[in-house]
Amino acid sequence: MLPLVPVPSSVRPTGGAPFVVTPGTAVEAPPGAESAAAVVAAALGGAAGFVVPARRAGPPDEAGRRPARGVGPLVVLVLDPTLPVDGDPGRLRETYTLAADEAGVCLAARTPEGLHRAAATLSQLLTTDGTSVVIPPVQIEDVPRYTWRGLSVDVARHFLPVADLEAIVDLLAGYKLNVLHLHLTDDQGWRLDLPSRPELAARSSAGGVDGDPGGAYSAADWSRLVAHAAARGVAVVPEIDVPGHVNAALHAVPALNPDGVAPDVYEGVAVGFSSLRSDLPETVPFLTDVFGDLAAMTPGEHLHLGGDEAHHTPPDEYVRLVGAAVAAVRATGRTVVGWQEVAAAPLPPGTVVQLWDTRADTAPVVAAARAGARVLMSPADHVYLDMQYAAGHALGQDWAGYVELRDAYAWEPAATVPGLDPAAVVGVEAAIWTETLRTRDEVMSMLLPRLAAVAEVAWSSSADWEQFRERVAPHAAAWDRDGLAWHASPQVDWRR
């Protein structure tokens, strides 16, 4: 059983000799596939211990995909718009094929994004025969189940530097996840320096929970992160949380308060006590500036406006404030994303409603989907990866229960919300909140191994826990090699 996670749609061993990575191996790719070629070359060279060059491809062979025989040990990337898969346009973008034998390796996809998913699979196929790095003879055809497969990271409660986020991006790409959703603002801190509102980061970024050090991303930091993610086929979706979770904004901008007096910096972990006010003249310009800057700084389709846990906001006021935030996002030309509470407000078709709390009434989410919204599945009892693995675990919380590896794997997104049309489900996104997490190692140990399980739920159309246990077990050796902290779940016989 090949140790591939997430499991591809079709894997067929073909027999014969494997492909051997040698000092003469090269990666060839067409224009537009340079970033995927760089990822493949780095994976091959890193495993083999020597540089594997990436270069522009020459003319293809008569099949248009397989490397021509007799030209050396090539790994060829091909952009093939006719690649046959099902008819869903979103899924078509990331479908790929991979063929390997002793003569060469060919990765083919309709788009550069698809080549990145093929690169992730190729990296997991690399093994050693004792003397050389090899790729087994195999043919793979693969297509994702969902188009949105992500991780939300809270950098507001405890700040994570760009290098830590880049390491998380690398982890996402390695498991075919394609969205990094960043929770940039909350009561405790404002983490992105915006050109039209420099006071937000200047006044509200210095601290975090329990008075721990804070921080904020400069425009240059943000550009670096977005570029790093794009070069690995990962989109960055930024979140500015309104109308609740706004104490940091209220502290930085006194005019957002009805009495004009800024509240103190907040270092606790309570939620639901802060709110914007729709009747203040500063509120709409604030939303317009913030989401306008966010769109200008971040390429892509989506902006997240938060919307959760606004317990201090009366229902009618909540609807007005969400409407103002929706208008600010739509003015930028972007698609709105919001936590499930936003389903209480009128939403434009195509809005992504992110479900997180299955304890709450989900009827508004179902109604929003019937009106044209799409639903992103993030049920806390399965994919909130800051939940403790078990009672007494040193890190994390337990308000949504304990989430062991099997809990993150053995659930069905399409059956999570009664009455919801499965066709309305756009994807799956895990989340990690940092009230109790301060360092990269602490975050990684909560992500791994559970993030691999969530990735398979999001990508693969079938689930088999016993097979997953076997396939994920050798990944521990790669995590060790890459210096990633991880939790040795007792549910797997790990091979290191």
> Which phi and psi (to 5°) does residue 384 adopt?
-85, 100
Of 472, 423, 481, nearest in space to 450 by CA = 472
Catalytic residue among 28, 113, 239, 309: 309
The dihedral built from the CA positions of residue 114, 119, 120 and 125, taken in this order, carries a sign that is: positive
Q: Name residue, tokens 């055809």.
A: 141
> Which of 455, 485, 458, 486 lies closest to 471 in space, CA to CA?
455
C-alpha span between 54 and 73 (Å, rounded) = 13
> Is there a contact between 447 and 388 (Cβ–Cβ < 8 Å)?
no
Backbone angles phi, psi at 239, to 5 degrees: -120, 125
Order of strands, sheet of 74-79, starting from the edge strand that comes earlier in the sequence: 10-13, 138-142, 96-101, 104-109, 74-79, 26-29, 54-56
Verify whether residue 309 is a known catalytic residue: yes
Cβ–Cβ contacts within 10 Å for residue 206, how many?
Answer: 16
Q: Return the structure tokens found at 211.
A: 């008075």
Q: Do the Cβ atoms of 187 and 248 come closer than 8 Å?
A: yes
Any idea of the CA torsion for 276, 282, 286, 287, to the nearest 10 degrees?
60
Active site residues: 309
